[in-house]
Structure 1
Amino acid sequence: MCVCVRKPGYDSSLTDAQWAVVEPLLPRAHPSVGGRPRVHSRRLVVDTISYVLASGCAWRSAPRDLAPWTTAYRVFAAWTADGTWQRVRDVLRDRVRERDGRDPQPSAASLDSQSVKTSEGGERIGYDAGKRVRGRKRHVLVDTLGLILGVAVGSASVQDRPGARRILTGIRRAFPLPELVWADGGYVNSEDATLVDWARRQEKAEIVAVPRNADVAGFQVLPRRWVAERTFGWLTRCRRLTRDYERKTARAEAMIQFAMIRLMAARLADEHIEPRGPIETEAARRLAEDLKD
């Protein structure tokens, strides 16, 4: 039994309503025989992880009135290793889809990648010559609401097609319904249809390229693909994700999953934490248009 007292939270802390959504899905600690009671509650530990994610600070710089950084990091690493973050993410995604009147199983998905700089050493660090970024590349597969179905982090030097194969492997077992996967030209190369053929044969999924307009310079909002771009925008509102600070890619993936958990918990608690502004208004309009198609 925990003997701690709930301490005042920060803006990054989960509200009572959000915690009520997340808490039943988290592992419960099993007290060891003859061991002392837990000093820090799971909620305080989660609030500490949330503070690090939202503020972008180092673990050692977490405020003293939260859980000790060593405790928070140990729990974060343990829940990464046993798949807790992924399980919680999947449960909350199904609930969000059901609340929006959708089938929990998505029928289409969008695939995209993002190259980010790393702050220091670690595994799988490379150079993306196209983006001129030394660091890692994040591949995300999202449904039509922008909720993450899968995430894979690897070296920035790895091309999009190997990253797509990694994230799409086993998609048919996890999500029986998706038949269409929208992606950019980096995933679908007319000179090399290996990935398209593999996805069609192995995962029964059709990868469809959404090409850019060569006559338009600069950033373009592309049909279908903008959903994944918006998800990257949601993620990088968390300062920890503007760069990759993790030494291990598994923990980099876990930070992304936890960011999505916070967002979905807020939605289920009717406390939206994503910003509202011209970009979000335009995204909502485009989503309504896509749903009519």
Structure 2
Amino acid sequence: MVMEAGLDEVARFLELADPPARPNARSARRVMAAVAWHLRTGGGWRALPDGFLPWRTVYGWFRRWVDKGLFAVLMRTLARRQRRCCGRRPTPRLAIIDTQSVKCIGVRGPRGYDAAKRVVGRKRVLMVDAEGHILAMTIVPANVQDCDTLSALDEGKPYWPSLRLGLFDSVFRAKRCEEWCNLHGMRRRVVEKDPDQKGFVVLERRWIV
């Protein structure tokens, strides 16, 4: 039921943001149902089961909405709404930034080798608020050093001009990370490990991202 309600809400947003030009156009609800299947299963577009719209129709609408930046607008809208639900102001002042390297095959974009994680694939770069709501996200090859991934957030950061403090782990100690924060009007704070720490320990507020 939650999934159905979520699809209905996303479909309404898309239809308002990008009204169909023809009265007989496929409904956004049916398109999003197929997109949800694709995201949930990881199956190829051509593998859409019977009962969904033709895969070319689904992929065409999906690419149209991506190119118009509607999913990015949707994520920012949801983040503001969820912050209100948590009793917070819609515009955050704190951001927590981190990366995650994941394995992938060499399809649909470049990949690289992360020697520290021993992963061949891509690196997700995430900026979230104090509640974990995604503020900006991008993907780079896994061989890009963490300190050099921040520039990939340049497109998403300006949508949150209220941000004043960024929390990072120790791999972001480089001077260029501080310069990136200064450029975007934020202070940088590196959350250091305890000198006596042994093994994995959840760091203050860092666990949220």
Structure 1 length-normalised TM: 0.65
Compute the displacement of 1:225 (Å): 1.1
Q: 1:28 to 1:170 in 2, by over 3 A?
A: closer
Q: What is the CA–CA distance in structure 1 between the aligned matches of 2:128 and 2:103, rounded to whole Å?
A: 22
Compute the displacement of 1:121 (Å): 2.6
Q: What is the CA–CA distance in structure 1 between the aligned matches of 2:199 and 2:60, rounded to whole Å?
A: 43
Compute the displacement of 1:218 (Å): 4.2
Compute the displacement of 1:195 (Å): 1.9
> Does 2:54 correspond to 1:64?
no
Deviations 1:54-100 (A, max 9, x none): 12222222211112222212211111111010011111111111122
Task: Pick 1 or 2: higher relative contact order, CA cutoff 8 A, min separation 6.
Answer: 1
Deviations 1:233-266 (A, max 9, x none): xxxxxxxxxxxxxxxxxxxxxxxxxxxxxxxxxx
> Does 2:190 correspond to 1:209?
yes
Say which of 28, 50, 55 aligns to 2:19: 28
Alignment of 1:1-293 (within 5 A): 14-15=3-4, 17-26=5-14, 27-31=18-22, 37-38=24-25, 40-168=26-154, 171=157, 173-189=158-174, 193-200=175-182, 202-213=183-194, 215-228=196-209
SS class of match (1:186): helix
Q: What is the CA–CA distance in structure 1 between the aligned matches of 2:185 and 2:170, rounded to whole Å?
A: 20
Q: What is the CA–CA distance in structure 1 between the aligned matches of 2:193 and 2:110, rounded to whole Å?
A: 29
Asked whether the equivalents of residues 116 and 136 of structure 1 are also in contact (C-alpha less than 8 Å), the reply is: yes
Asked whether the equivalents of residues 150 and 180 of structure 2 are also in contact (C-alpha less than 8 Å), the reply is: no
**Corresponding residue number in structure 2 for 1:252:** none
Structure 1 unaligned residues grouped into runs of 5+: 1-10, 229-293
Q: 1:170 to 1:87 in 2, by over 3 A?
A: closer
Q: What is the CA–CA distance in structure 2 between the aligned matches of 1:71 and 1:29, rounded to whole Å?
A: 13
Question: Relative to structure 2, which stretch is displaced further, 121-130 or 75-84?
Answer: 121-130
Compute the displacement of 1:169 (Å): 5.9
- CA RMSD between the two structures: 2.1
Q: What is the CA–CA distance in structure 2 between the aligned matches of 1:211 and 1:61, rounded to whole Å?
A: 47
Q: What is the CA–CA distance in structure 1 between the aligned matches of 2:20 and 2:199, rounded to whole Å?
A: 51
Q: What is the CA–CA distance in structure 2 between the aligned matches of 1:121 and 1:151, rounded to whole Å?
A: 20
Q: What is the CA–CA distance in structure 2 between the aligned matches of 1:121 and 1:18, rounded to whole Å?
A: 30
Asked whether the equivalents of residues 161 and 187 of structure 1 are also in contact (C-alpha less than 8 Å), the reply is: yes
Q: What is the CA–CA distance in structure 2 between the aligned matches of 1:113 and 1:152, rounded to whole Å?
A: 10
Q: 1:220 to 1:70 in 2, by over 3 A?
A: farther
Compute the displacement of 1:23 (Å): 2.7
Question: Relative to structure 2, which stretch is displaced further, 148-157 or 71-80?
Answer: 71-80
Q: What is the CA–CA distance in structure 1 between the aligned matches of 2:107 and 2:39, rounded to whole Å?
A: 19
Q: What is the CA–CA distance in structure 2 between the aligned matches of 1:64 and 1:175, rounded to whole Å?
A: 42
